[in-house]
Structure 1
Amino acid sequence: MSVYTKEDIENKKLRGIFIGGKTKVGIKVPYLRRSYQSKRDVLDVLADALPGTMLLAFSAMLIATIVGILLGVLAAVNQNTWWDTSAVFASVLGISAPSFFMGIVIAYVFGFVLSHYTGLNMTGSLYNIDPFKGRQLQLQNLILPAITLGIRPLAIITQLTRSAMLDVLDQDYIRTAYAKGLTKRMVIFKHALRNALNPVITAITGWFAELLAGAFFVEYIFGWKGIGKITVDALEKLDFPVVMGSVLVTAAFFIIINMLADILYGIVDPRIRKSN
């Protein structure tokens, strides 16, 4: 919020909400300047790349959340069995493997060596431009980067779900639910899992914010057009307005997603709503 003259607003073509006569008080829409390379507004450059990053991050977190929670529940219910040992061992490997290393391995194995069987490419974005057919949707290019990006959050979600489920399964109300004659599936998924999800939600929202902030190496390795690849390209070309704009956008995502996490806590666990 600041004070502007009418001439400033007209000459600089400011956008926002302004109130007053010759001297106006208003809230200006942030102007992120123009790209040094393309001469386009930075906001337009980022708006073109943002849907790709959001789709990639959402797909990666969807895979990590579904598979991670199921593996965590399976490991907790079958504690000290080969299911538990395998899930813990796989999650440790997933946490230890850097994303850029896994990206190179997965791209080479499934996008090059086994490409005849998988039908997948090493690199590619959501759309391909064909000179005759125009822009074509290529959803298969999403598979490898989404899996690569989801490996580390999947491993962490598995560990957190297993740990939280083991704590919950020892509670008195779980034994009471069994005593009432409820089935094992109902007790685990309706009572135990719901009360074990708070730390998992923290991990999911935190990782989702990080993935939206730019999966720089993964997007760059797979040639996926998103905020990360745009930022790396801008750094190579010393296009500082684009870099500063991407930092501002990703910081805003961190704030918004953390606020949404607080709302999700109340939805999942009614005890939090009562305490507030």
Structure 2
Amino acid sequence: MLSYILNKLIYAILTLFGVITVIFILFTVLPGDPARMMLDQNENSEQLAAIQKKYGFDKPVSIQYLYYLNDLSPFSFHSKEKDDYTYLAKGKYNAVEVLEFSNTVFVLKTPYLRESFQKNGKKVTRIIAETLPNTFVLAVAAIFIAMINGVILGVLSALYKDSWIDKFIQVISTLGMSIPSFFSAILFAWFFGFLLHKYTHLNMTGSLYEVDDFGEAIHIQWKNLILPAVVLGIRPLAVVIQLMRNSLLEVLNQDYIRTARAKGLNEFQVIVKHALKNALNPVITALSGWFASMLAGAVFVEYIFGWNGLGKEIVNALNTLDLPVIMGSVIIIAFMFILINIFVDIIYGWLDPKISIK
């Protein structure tokens, strides 16, 4: 068990290292000077040189890459010289000094994702901390909607196999898998938030927290969660329907189900007390993986509905070429994706005796 977890952790570190490397190379070779982007049209030679030195843009790409790894690493080396990029400036790093030798300090710190180019030097970690919880709430709501409705429709599809009910549900499932999320978001926002607003009282756009007209209080608007959660849950809903249908049909052909029916149990009791529990195993496993995907898939859904989550922040950062925010957000999403998938692998291997976790 311990070696299995250790192998998974090594795999996670190597995967995350690969993601960081690709992200750095991708956004470093982009055309344009980040320093000029930060100064916009107001730059002069002195300001440009100062910005390039402050962020290490005046160094070769290989040195910039080492700087970036040093910033992200929880164990890092920093210079005592104020002119050096790695200088342990107050407020820049949340660090604890461990060792000191010559002009270098070895520290233990939280990963430093740098500062936003466009938000007056606001730390990327703070931006992510403010927006990620909203994305998490949205993903949980979408998974909940997909799980409840997918299981119900999957059971109905299995019980009425090859009937018009089964075929109708299969059509819905196929459409859910084929229609892009951004198109569904536009359609739902227009139809339920605009055309039927009088009846639904739902808004086309809106986030979880809204400030009142006087700017004095913040209120939670749960109704703004409904449309983006439904749209984000459409694709996993389609997957759950298919998995639930196929799994339940397989379970219903088992000997213990025939025994339960022979004892005089009605169909409802057979499904709820005997078949449903075993049929849910592949569904739960699939949804665990889908949850990680939703953190990345919420990008366009959040932007269209005006949901102030990490996805919307990424789109805004792309529009303004705020590279630290883009890079930091992608790394955080990749980290969570890897972490959740490893957790699912370990739990699934623990629960299923056919899978070795030695």
Q: Distance in 1 between matches of 2:174 and 2:355?
A: 35
- TM-superposed CA distance for 1:231, in Å, is 0.2
- TM-superposed CA distance for 1:81, in Å, is 2.2
Secondary structure of 1:161's match? Answer: helix
1:191-210 correspondence runs (5 A):
191-210=274-293
Q: CA 1:263–1:16 in structure 2 vs 1: closer, same or farther (change >3 Å)?
A: farther
1:80-119 correspondence runs (5 A):
80-119=162-201
Q: Distance in 2 between matches of 1:195 and 1:224?
A: 37
The equivalent residue for 2:63 is none
- TM-superposed CA distance for 1:272, in Å, is 5.6
Q: CA 1:20–1:204 in structure 2 vs 1: closer, same or farther (change >3 Å)?
A: same
- TM-superposed CA distance for 1:201, in Å, is 2.1
The equivalent residue for 2:251 is 168
Q: Which structure is larger by alpha-carbon Rg, 1 or 2?
A: 2
- TM-superposed CA distance for 1:87, in Å, is 1.4
Q: CA 1:142–1:3 in structure 2 vs 1: closer, same or farther (change >3 Å)?
A: closer
Tell me if structure 1 keeps the 8 A contact 2:116–2:122. yes
- TM-superposed CA distance for 1:156, in Å, is 1.0
Please list the CA deviations of residues 205-251 of structure 1 after superposition, one character each: whole Å capped at 9, or x if unmatched.
22211111251111111111111100000000000000001001101
1:242 aligns with 2:321: no
TM-score by length of 2: 0.70
**Among residues 244, 267, 275, which one is paired with 1:184 in the alignment?**
267
- TM-superposed CA distance for 1:200, in Å, is 1.3
The equivalent residue for 2:77 is 4
Q: Distance in 2 between matches of 1:67 and 1:162?
A: 13
Q: Distance in 2 between matches of 1:46 and 1:182?
A: 53
Report sequence identity in percent: 51
Q: Distance in 2 between matches of 1:175 and 1:271?
A: 25
Tell me if structure 1 keeps the 8 A contact 2:128–2:329. yes
The equivalent residue for 1:122 is 204
Q: CA 1:201–1:28 in structure 2 vs 1: closer, same or farther (change >3 Å)?
A: same
Ranked by relative contact order (alpha carbons within 8 Å, sequence separation 6 or more), the top structure is: 1
**Among residues 133, 136, 140, which one is paired with 2:219 in the alignment?**
136
Q: Distance in 2 between matches of 1:84 and 1:271?
A: 33
The equivalent residue for 2:41 is none
Q: Distance in 1 between matches of 2:115 and 2:78?
A: 23
Secondary structure of 1:125's match? Answer: coil
**Among residues 12, 24, 49, which one is paired with 2:131 in the alignment?**
49
Q: Distance in 2 between matches of 1:212 and 1:270?
A: 27
Q: Distance in 2 between matches of 1:92 and 1:77?
A: 19
Q: Distance in 2 between matches of 1:36 and 1:224?
A: 22
TM-score by length of 1: 0.89
Secondary structure of 2:202's match? Answer: coil
**Among residues 230, 238, 259, which one is paired with 1:155 in the alignment?**
238
Q: CA 1:201–1:48 in structure 2 vs 1: closer, same or farther (change >3 Å)?
A: same
Higher mean alpha-carbon deviation, 21-30 vs 221-230, is at 21-30
Q: Distance in 1 between matches of 2:225 and 2:310?
A: 15
Q: CA 1:3–1:82 in structure 2 vs 1: closer, same or farther (change >3 Å)?
A: closer
Tell me if structure 2 keeps the 8 A contact 1:201–1:261. no
Please list the CA deviations of residues 13-36 of structure 1 after superposition, one character each: whole Å capped at 9, or x if unmatched.
533565345476554321001000
The equivalent residue for 1:228 is 311
Q: Distance in 1 between matches of 2:181 and 2:297?
A: 13
Aligned residues: 275
Uncovered stretches (5+) of structure 1, i.e. residues with no partner = none
Give the root-mean-square deviation of aligned CA atoms.
2.5
The equivalent residue for 2:152 is 70
The equivalent residue for 2:39 is none
- TM-superposed CA distance for 1:183, in Å, is 4.3
Q: Distance in 2 between matches of 1:159 and 1:263?
A: 25
Structure 1 letter corresponding to 2:274:
H
Please list the CA deviations of residues 126-147 of structure 1 after superposition, one character each: whole Å capped at 9, or x if unmatched.
1222242421221111111111
